[in-house]
Structure 1
Amino acid sequence: MGTTSRPPARPGVLRWLGYAMGGGLPARYSPWVLHDTTTRTWGLRHLARALVQMAVPIVLIVALVPAPAWIRLMTALGGLLLGLVFSLAYMAETTENRVKKAGYPPGTATAARERAARVREQQERERRRAAAARRAARRRARR
């Protein structure tokens, strides 16, 4: 994440699809990769990439397997659920690998997420202290 206020350059749809399928991006997108894997919604972004990866085999199963529709759909659903379980189980490792591919040292994404969590916790503590001070001031004013 940079010191500038401009958001990092986003890849186009085709590049993002390649990235979602596990490919790398050119170096100019490295700040975006770090943002993608460390922003507050990084887990949802990971799930979106996982669903894109699983879409191809699911479509092939539903379209090409010679079986009744209910068997094809149940097979696709089972594969999707199993794929999501594995995707969630290895979410942190997968995102770290993406950040490493983008040229950052291992552990960068985890450290950035932990740093952001500490900042959010500090802001929440300050918000609660300010709210408590306002309540105390209102109580004193009522007396």
Structure 2
Amino acid sequence: MARRRPNPIQWLWYAAGGALPAEYREWVLHDVTSKHYLWRHAARSTVLVAPLAAVWLLLPGPLVLRLMLCLLAVLVGYFYSFAYADENCEHRIAKHGYEYGTARAIREAARAETDSEMRDRYNALYRRGAE
């Protein structure tokens, strides 16, 4: 069965924290487990942070002060967003009927071979005399 992508309105709803209909279940799993899942998370976070920054830009006061307020708000927003990115992904797939921990397990399985190769190269290069 092919993955269905949500339309832009549905994606905005999803990015704001809403649940998609059941036919998008596979797409949600792909969204939080692809190798670019952190970039996708950044896009979803932007949907929440950008409107707030835009409103703060419209406040009265010196332009430099408003720009600094927006910059600080965006930096803090992204900091906390990325600090809890994995938990956010797990919560999203739990909303769509998957068991909590599924996304992390899929990402770790996808990285296992690459991590193993990197570990072997590291051991060959730096741990030669330790054996």
Bin the TM-score by the shorter chain. 0.7 to 0.9
CA distance in 2, matches of 1:119, 1:36: 21
Q: CA deviation at 1:35?
A: 0.2
Structure 2 SS opposite 1:23: coil
CA distance in 2, matches of 1:76, 1:102: 33
Deviations 1:78-97 (A, max 9, x none): 00000111011101101110
CA distance in 1, matches of 2:114, 2:36: 14
Q: CA deviation at 1:121?
A: 4.5
Structure 1 SS opposite 2:47: helix
Which residue in 1 is equivalent to 2:101? 107
- Matched residues, percent identical? 42
Which residue in 2 is equivalent to 1:141? none
CA distance in 1, matches of 2:64, 2:71: 10
Which residue in 1 is equivalent to 2:33? 38
CA distance in 1, matches of 2:60, 2:115: 54
Bigger Cα Rg = 1
Q: CA deviation at 1:74?
A: 0.6
Which residue in 2 is equivalent to 1:70? 64
Deviations 1:62-105 (A, max 9, x none): 12x11111111110000000011101110110111001111101
CA distance in 2, matches of 1:94, 1:28: 21
- Do structure 1's residue 25 and structure 2's residue 20 form an aligned pair? yes
Q: CA deviation at 1:115?
A: 1.1
Q: CA deviation at 1:119?
A: 4.2
TM-score by length of 2: 0.84
CA distance in 2, matches of 1:46, 1:13: 16
Match of 1:118 among 101, 112, 117: 112
Which residue in 1 is equivalent to 2:8? 13
CA distance in 2, matches of 1:28, 1:119: 31
Structure 2 unmatched runs, 5+? 122-131
Structure 1 unmatched runs, 5+? 129-143
Q: CA deviation at 1:118?
A: 1.7
Q: CA deviation at 1:120?
A: 4.2
CA distance in 2, matches of 1:121, 1:93: 22
